[in-house]
Structure formats: C-alpha cells, structure tokens
C-alpha cells in the first residue's frame, strides 16, 4: 500500500461519535471539541491554555476527515501558539542545545543542522513537514493526542509521521506528562531526516501490519520502544543518544549518557541512581516491561549507529515472514 492509499480513521469510519479513535483524549460534545486533561496536569486549571488545546485538537479532527488527495494539496492549518508558549520553546532550545552537542549521536547533530528548527518560536507543522519530505519523503500529519498503535504504525509504513501540535504548559517548561510538539519535532522529526532511521520506521510499520496477534503486536512495540525511542550507541567510546525519547529530554539524555551520574536540573527527576547498559538482545527487549512515566533504568547500547541500523533492519524485515523462526507467535 503506497502513501497515496493511506487514510487515517475518521469519525465516519466506524469510530464512536463521541471519541475519535485516533485521538483518544479528545471528546466531541455537541459538535464542540474538548481535550481531556488529568486533574494533575499543569494546565488543568488554565482556561486559556485549554482553549488553545481545543483549537489545536479541532485542527487534527478536521484534517482526519479529509480525503488523501485533499491532504496532499492542503496546507496544515497554523496552531494558535501564545507568546508564553513560544517562550517555553525558546527556553527548551537554549537548554537542550549544549546537551545535544555533548551527548547526541553524530547522525542527529548533522541532520538537526539541515532541518534548522527555529530557536525563538514553535515552528508550524507545515513548514517542518515540507523540509522533512525533501529529506527522506516522510510527511507529518496532525493528531490531537495519543494514537492507537495500529494507526501509528500504519502511518509509518506509508512515510507519514503522526504529530501532536500542542506544547506543554508554561508553568512547567521542562516537564510534560504527555508527548508534545517538543518531543515530536526536536526528537522524532530531526531523526526522521536521517535516511537509515526513516527506513527503520517504515520497516517497523510494515512489520506491525504483518502482526496478527496481540502478543506479536505488544512484543514488536516493546522492541520499538527500546530501539526507536530509547536507543543508544557508542561513538569514540562514549554513549550517545539516538532515540527521540532521549533526544527530546535534556535531563534524561544527560542522565542516560552518563550512567545516571549527571541528572539534568529544573526537570522532574524520576530516575534510578544508575542506568544498566545492556548488550542489545531483541528477544529480551520483546518481553522487558517499561514505565513511560520514569527515566529508563535500562538502555540497550549498540557498538555503533551502523550496527544498530543493520541488525535492527534484519530483525524487523524478517518479522512475521517465512524467515521468522517463531512462526507460532504470529498465528
């Protein structure tokens, strides 16, 4: 199935009229769009912030209702960011830049320069998507919140990265309880411009589409987490961040690349005292549990970026095919 055949699930395609399947935190009540926030969310009591979140979610819902042809010819509407939110982005960019220089892998640093994210404002998704498409053919499309695994991976298989547009609350600029535009653009987008990384994301998407059992889907998702979100490799005998989960958090990136000795300041530190570096083992990754609310206590560290790429490519290409030795997993 090519890119032109990819269509997100919209409300008219078997999804509950009250909840968009692709945006599980977004509610539609009486024709109005509301984003549900937990009571402990930093922006829960901020009516202006919540109003902007609703506007941004509406952009995603209306986008999902378009045909693929309309999406290819329509620019993604601008998200209504405030001056305070632009200031949050600027503060994060200033704080994370020196940490990237010290701990990000070479491929990330080179591609981030080419992508050229602005330092003083939140870039609009359309402008970033156009740059990314020129690099690796990947496009970005807006979603209002967390998406179902199948939806996310089907998009990857067709060179589409589903991205949130909202940003964390200004009262906690260095903390977010949910993936936001900082994670999407500073982490994922900057890596998706690297050809090898883009290829792996496509292959993971196709592998997920070959997974027919819940067990297989869960196992593959766990490997994606340890490689494509929190992967690390060695460069000049130093541990470097590769995964967007590390690259978009200066605190966790510093903590991870120093084996827990260098926690970032001004960010909620929920880490273990030290990190265990392990030799990559896909079968072990498949069943190792992880906690999305804490710094990762275990990192699988590859000897090089090239090794990560080659071995992951082989693993995910064989997943669910006749070359996969565990055929029973996919039945």
Q: Which of 21, 141, 229, 267 is catalytic?
A: 229
Interior angle at CA 134, CA 128 and CA 138, nearest 5: 70
Q: Are 231 and 296 in contact (CB under 8 A)?
A: no
User: Measuring CA to CA, how many Å separate 82 from each of 135, 168, 187, 300, 308?
Assistant: 30, 12, 22, 39, 40
Decide if 248 is catalytic: yes
Buried b (16+ CB within 10 A) or exposed e, 119-153: eeebbbbeebbebbeebbebbbbbbbbbbeeebbb
Q: Which fold has domain 3-330?
A: 1.10.800
Provide the residue-wise pLDDT of the chain in tens; the chain has 331 residues: 222 222 222 222 222 223 333 344 787 777 788 888 889 899 999 999 999 999 999 999 999 899 888 988 899 999 999 999 999 999 999 999 999 999 999 999 999 999 999 999 999 999 999 999 999 999 999 998 877 778 888 899 999 999 999 999 999 888 888 889 999 999 999 999 999 999 999 999 999 999 888 899 999 999 999 999 999 999 999 999 999 999 999 999 999 999 866 554 444 455 555 789 999 999 999 999 998 878 899 999 999 999 999 999 999 999 999 888 877 777 6
Q: What pLDDT, in 10s, does the model give residues 161-200?
A: 999 999 999 998 888 888 899 999 999 999 999 999 999 9
Record the tokens describing residue 92, joined without a space: 């994060």
SS3 content of the chain, % helix, strand, coil (to 5): 50, 10, 40
Residue 263 confidence (pLDDT): 54
Q: Which of 41, 100, 169, 188 is catalytic?
A: 188
Decide if 183 is catalytic: yes
Q: Which of 183, 211, 254, 267 is catalytic?
A: 183
Residue 260 confidence (pLDDT): 67
Residue 30 confidence (pLDDT): 75
Record the tokens describing residue 29, joined without a space: 């009540």
Residue 146 confidence (pLDDT): 77
Interior angle at CA 229, CA 56 and CA 203, nearest 5: 95
Tokens 């156009």, located at residue: 130
Residue 9 confidence (pLDDT): 26
Residue 10 confidence (pLDDT): 28
153-157 CB contacts, 8 Å cutoff, 24+ apart: 153/204, 153/205, 153/208, 153/209, 154/6, 154/205, 154/208, 154/209, 155/6, 155/8, 155/205, 156/201, 156/202, 156/204, 156/205, 156/208, 157/1, 157/6, 157/202, 157/205, 157/206, 157/208, 157/209
| φ, ψ for residue 160, nearest 5 deg | -125, 125
Residue 328 confidence (pLDDT): 74
Task: Kindly state the greatest CA–CA separation across the chain.
Answer: 58
Residue 284 confidence (pLDDT): 97
């Amino acid at each position: 199935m090519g890119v032109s055949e990819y269509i997100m699930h919209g409300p008219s395609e078997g999804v509950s009229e009250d909840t968009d399947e692709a945006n599980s935190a977004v509610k539609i009540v009486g024709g109005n769009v509301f984003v549900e926030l937990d009571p402990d969310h930093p922006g829960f009591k901020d009516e202006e912030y919540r109003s902007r979140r609703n506007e941004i979610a509406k952009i995603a819902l209306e986008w999902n209702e378009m045909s693929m042809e309309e999406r290819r010819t329509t620019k993604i509407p601008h998200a209504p960011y405030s001056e305070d939110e632009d200031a949050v982005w600027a503060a994060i960019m200033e704080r994370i830049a020196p940490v990237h220089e010290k701990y990000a892998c070479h491929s990330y640093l080179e591609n981030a320069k080419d992508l050229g994210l602005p330092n003083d404002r939140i870039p609009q998704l359309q402008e970033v998507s156009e740059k990314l498409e020129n690099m690796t053919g990947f496009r970005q499309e807006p979603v209002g919140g967390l998406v179902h695994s199948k939806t996310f991976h089907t998009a990857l298989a067709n060179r589409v990265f589903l991205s949130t547009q909202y940003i964390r609350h200004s009262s906690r600029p260095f903390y977010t309880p949910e993936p936001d535009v900082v994670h999407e653009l500073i982490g994922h987008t900057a890596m998706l411009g690297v050809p090898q990384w883009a290829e792996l994301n496509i292959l993971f998407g196709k592998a997920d589409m070959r997974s027919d059992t819940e067990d297989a889907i869960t196992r593959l998702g766990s490997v994606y987490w340890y490689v494509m979100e929190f992967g690390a490799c060695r460069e000049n005998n130093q541990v470097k961040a590769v995964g967007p989960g590390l690259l978009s958090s200066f605190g966790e990136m510093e903590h991870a690349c120093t084996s827990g000795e260098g926690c970032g300041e001004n960010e909620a530190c929920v880490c273990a005292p030290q990190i265990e570096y392990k030799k990559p083992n896909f079968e072990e990754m498949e069943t190792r549990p992880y906690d999305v609310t804490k710094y990762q206590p275990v990192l699988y560290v590859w000897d090089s970026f090239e090794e990560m790429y080659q071995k992951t490519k082989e693993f995910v290409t064989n997943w669910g095919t006749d070359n996969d030795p565990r055929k029973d997993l996919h039945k």
